[in-house]
């Protein structure tokens, strides 16, 4: 009986696949901070009032700090956290897309080419929202952002318009992220949430 159980356990993990620590604490903490702050900020932004506009600013500061830390860590952190490999591996998109519908885990060491492209797009939009938000002016609630006094009134309104335009892309990118997690969990039988909590992931390939 023990021999059969051992054999089944061994067969459950394909050859060349090992369990490794991929996501370090900085990646995991900034990820979940951004999740909470962006969703809360988006909700307040959609239901803005004189009583909660300051909270929208505070959540923007938190998001900005987390995104800035993640981008810096993407330059100096460990390899799975680096940003440049995400850009470089976009050349793998055609090859990876051919395996997308296979009903098996990808065992990709980190963000796969499609997930990496999605992450880059989300970081770019969030960074743009934070920057434009710092210089914008709310014409509905007569509030000027912390850095708004450094530019002219017309420039503040331009920043406000850019902020609103970028805001349109946030929810679709977040929904795409959630749908991808569900697709991998239900179809490819790969849990992408657990590694972002524990840091450990089953991957194929050398260290």
DSSP SS3 for 171: helix
Instruction: Tell me the per-residue pLDDT of 27-83, one tens digit each, with 9 for 90 and over.
Output: 999 999 999 999 998 888 888 777 788 888 899 999 999 999 999 999 999 999 999
Residue 202: enclosing H or E segment and its boundaries? strand 200-204
CA distances from 59 to 2, 9, 147 (A): 53, 45, 16
Q: What is the pLDDT of residues 9-18, one digit of tens each?
A: 444 677 778 9
Q: Choose among 132, 23, 30, 29: nearest CA to 71.
A: 30
pLDDT score of 24 = 96
CA–CA separation, 2 vs 171, rounded Å? 50
With a CB cutoff of 8 Å and minimum separation 6, the contacts of 17 are 107, 202, 203, 204
Element (H, E) at 85: helix 84-88
For the entire predicted model, the pTM comes to 0.84
- What is the rounded radius of gyration, in angstroms, for the C-alpha atoms of the chain? 21
Asked whether 98 and 35 are in contact (CB, 8 A), the reply is no
Whether 133 and 163 have beta carbons less than 8 Å apart is answered as yes
Q: Does domain 23-194 match CATH 1.10.260.40? A: no
The residues spanned by each domain of the chain are 23-194
């Amino acid at each position: 009986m023990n021999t059969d159980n051992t054999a089944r356990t061994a067969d459950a993990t394909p050859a060349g696949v090992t369990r490794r620590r991929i996501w370090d604490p900085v990646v995991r903490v900034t990820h979940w901070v951004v999740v909470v702050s962006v969703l809360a900020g988006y909700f307040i932004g959609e239901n803005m009032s004189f009583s909660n506009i300051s909270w929208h600013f505070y959540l923007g500061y938190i998001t900005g700090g987390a995104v800035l830390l993640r981008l810096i860590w993407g330059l100096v952190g460990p390899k799975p956290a680096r940003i440049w490999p995400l850009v470089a591996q976009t050349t793998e998109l055609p090859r990876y897309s051919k395996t997308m519908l296979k009903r098996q885990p990808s065992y990709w060491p980190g963000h796969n080419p499609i997930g990496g492209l999605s992450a880059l797009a989300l970081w770019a939009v969030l960074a743009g929202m934070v920057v434009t938000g710092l210089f914008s002016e709310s014409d509905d609630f007569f509030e000027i952002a912390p850095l708004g006094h450094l530019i002219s009134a017309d420039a503040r309104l331009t920043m406000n318009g850019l902020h609103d335009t970028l805001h349109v892309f946030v929810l679709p990118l977040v929904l795409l992220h959630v749908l991808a997690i569900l697709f991998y969990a239900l179809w490819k039988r790969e849990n992408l949430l657990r590694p972002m909590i524990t840091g450990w992931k089953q991957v194929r390939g050398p260290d």
